[in-house]
Each structure stands twice: as structure tokens, then as C-alpha cells.
Structure 1
Amino acid sequence: MINLLPFSRYSFLAAWLLFFSCETKKKELPILGRPTITTQVIENQTVIDTISHKIADFSLLNQDSLQITNSSLAGKIYVADFFFTSCPTICPVMKKQLLRVYERYLEDDRIMIVSHSIDPTYDNVNVLSDYSDALGVISDKWHFLTGDQDEIYQLGEKSYMVTAGADEDAPGGYIHSGAFLLVDTNRQIRGVYDGTMKEQVDQLIIDIDILLDEEFGKK
């Protein structure tokens, strides 16, 4: 009779090692957006390269009248959204959910939140300062941004790829996405979440932790 026990033991060990390696492999988030395809000729050879989509340069003011640019967020992971303070629809729900993210990572200086007003004419620095105070948040952690309207709209539609603009038929006169966007230290979008849904924001928090591990390793 052939004894199959040694083979079974080895098979079990191999299967266990395969399972363990799959379980311990780090999960990585996708890089989202519209990549740019570039073509150049180097030494008579055509070289095609793919450049990942990145958030464009910007310069806006936060609730403390401080100029915020890409450099202000260098080396940070951040969550971005678009809103306006007089929004009568989804903005209050979004901010309630975003407060969960703020409170979760309040002591972690690797994480920032950036909210862009799509009504910069009304949402000046003073209005945003009052809004920030009412939420009980600090600008070192959560920037509320205002500035040139066209720049903000371009940033929303071209960089973050979300709806952001004036619409006289929309409640409050503006239309915008309810999305939260997770951005890595390379200015790349790594996740998009419905900011009006608790379950989606739960997933955002899970993905922030994944991205923290990817970018910085275990703290």
C-alpha cells in the first residue's frame, strides 16, 4: 500500500504558505484619473511613456488668509471635496461625515483635509473662518479654500474630475459633486467616495490606513 501521509503533509504546508503569503501581501490602492501619453524620439527611437494623472498647481486662500498651494500639502495625504457654505442640500451631511475623518486623524500630521468653496464671491475668508469655527476645526488640519472662481472650477473639473460650478437651476445656485477624493503624496487620486454615505466614508478611513502604510510604512 502506498503511504500518502508524507505527501499530504507537504501539500498542506505548501497550501498554508501560499495562503499566508497572499494574506500578508500589502494591499495597494489604484491610481485613478486620466493618464497622459507622451511620445518622444531618443536616438532615432520612438519612446512612448505614460504619465499618471496629477492634481494641477493651485494657489488659494484658507480661512486664516494664508496662501495654500501644492507645496503646503507636500508630503501629506489629504482628502479633498467641493462645497459652499450656504448649500441647502448635501453639504451639511458631507461635513458631518468629513468630521469623522478629521477626528480620526486629528493627531496624525500626515493627513490633511481640503475643502474648496465653489461660491468664492460669498465664501470669503471671514465667512470660511466663521464656518470653520462653527465646526470646531483647526486650519492646521482642515483648510477651507477660497479664491479665483475660474481656478477653483478648473481644479474641480480637470484635476479632481468632479462637478463644480454655478447652475441657476440648482438649489442654492451651484452644483457640485458629493465626492470625497483621497490624494497621495504624489498628488495622485487614489480613491473616490460618496461623502453622503456613512458606509463609503467607512471605506475611505480603511483606505487612508492602507495608503498610510503604503506611503510611510507602519507608524
Structure 2
Amino acid sequence: MKRILPFFFVSFLLACSQEAKQLPYLGHPVTETLASGETVEKHYEIPDFELLNQDSLVVNNQTLGGKIYIADFIFLQCPTICPKMNAEMKRVYDAFHENENVVFVSHTIDPKNDSIPALKAYSESLGVDGAKWHFLHGEEGAIHQLAQAYFMQAYQASDAPGGYAHSGGFLLIDPDQHIRGVYDGTSTTDVNRLLAEIPVLLNEKKK
């Protein structure tokens, strides 16, 4: 499968170092007009969504509100980058699964084959806590559109192994659902950067 690195991903891949005191806000700011007529700029936020996890429980913006979460887009029959991504995400999970302020969200881009029972079985095979690592299922078009909202790509591609092409990024989302970091989920070095930057965001949350 071709690994897709959209311009957003490339632009911000090395945006901040481990020594950063505060992580950047990624994505174009949104201009909002107040009732007074005054306009203000707000940081980009993940749009509203509602999906089911591997336990058939609803997961939406409210579910994840107030938490730091790491998100990606995968599918279980992916023969190329997904196994590496899942292994790297598990490494991050192992480092932070006891922290109540950090959760993990993997969206299947192939919901026809990745049924909720299949996602449940995969979650159990990893030995992870379903309340800490959500494997999300929903209508294919909605999930592919949601990937774009995370500045990732996911779409059917007959010439791609497994039938889907998608980005291999991990996204670090803050408690207010702003994107604060993007990382190559197939790179141990870049995932090490994620491991170093999660505590930076946790410390910001305490302030």
C-alpha cells in the first residue's frame, strides 16, 4: 500500500522538539462571529462525530472531551503499514495505559470487513483495555470524511494492497479536541517523539 503523507503531515512532522514548553496548535484557525458582531479566531477543532467502539458503545466528542487522545486510521486486513502502526500504537498504549487522562482511538476504514465483533476480537488479541483503546466502527463514507477532518486520507483503491489507501499518521489531540501533533506511525523514531510530547501536553493540562 502506498503510504500517503499529505502536505499537512509533512509540514508539521518536525514542528516541535522534545524540549518544547508548549506544543503547537495545528490546522487552520477558524474565524467565528460573536453576537456582538466582533470576530475572533479559534483554534481548529475536530468536528462532531459519533461512532461505535468494539463493545458497541457510543464514542463521540463528549466521550473523549477532557481527555488527551491519540488517533489513527487503520484496517485489520491491511497487509502493509497497519501491522507496524498497530505495534507502535501498542507501545504508546503500554507507556500510558495507566494514565486516566490518556486514551487511544483507532478508526477502521474498512467497516464492511472489520465488523464490531472482529474489532472486539482484535482488541482482545492485543490484551488492551477496551475503555482505554477504542476501535471505532461506522459508515464507511463518514469515517473517510472524518479522516480528512484529521488531515489524514482514507479511500478505496483497487490497486492498493487490501483495497484501501490511507495515511499512516498518529495524531495527538488535546482535551479541547485541538490537533497538537502529527507523527509517522510507521517510524519508531517519530513515535518516540510522540512518547516524549504526550507528557508535555499532560503538563499543559494541569495548568
TM-score by length of 1: 0.82
2:21 aligns with: 27
Question: Residue in 2 aligned with 1:87?
Answer: 78
- Residue matched to 2:52: 61
Task: Structure 1 unaligned segments of length 5 or more: list them.
Answer: 1-24
**Structure 2 match to 1:183:** 173
Cα distance in 2 between the residues matched to 1:149 and 1:170:
17
Q: How many residues align?
A: 189
- Flag the structure with larger Rg: 1
User: Which structure carries more relative contact order (alpha carbon 8 Å, separation 6+)?
Assistant: 2
Decide which of 91, 101, 117 is 1:110's aligned counterpart. Answer: 101
Aligned-pair identity (%): 47
Q: CA RMSD in A?
A: 1.6
What is aligned with 2:16?
none
Identify which of 39, 42, 65 aligns with 1:48. Answer: 39
Normalized per residue, the structure richer in helix is: 1
AA aligned to 1:31 is: Y
Aligned to 2:30, which of 19, 32, 36? 36
Q: Give structure 1 regions of 4+ aligned residues with deviation exceeding 3 angstroms.
A: 38-42
| CA offsets 1:105-157 (integer angstroms, 9 cap, x no match) | 11111000000000011111001011111111111110000011111111111
Match of 2:118 among 118, 127, 131: 127
DSSP-derived class of the 1:75 partner: coil
Q: Distance in 2 between matches of 1:200 and 1:98?
A: 12
Please report how far the alpha carbon of residue 73 of structure 1 lies from its aligned counterpart in structure 2 after TM superposition: 0.8
Secondary structure of residue in 2 paired with 1:153: helix
Q: CA deviation at 1:40?
A: 6.3
Unaligned runs of 5+ in 2: 1-18
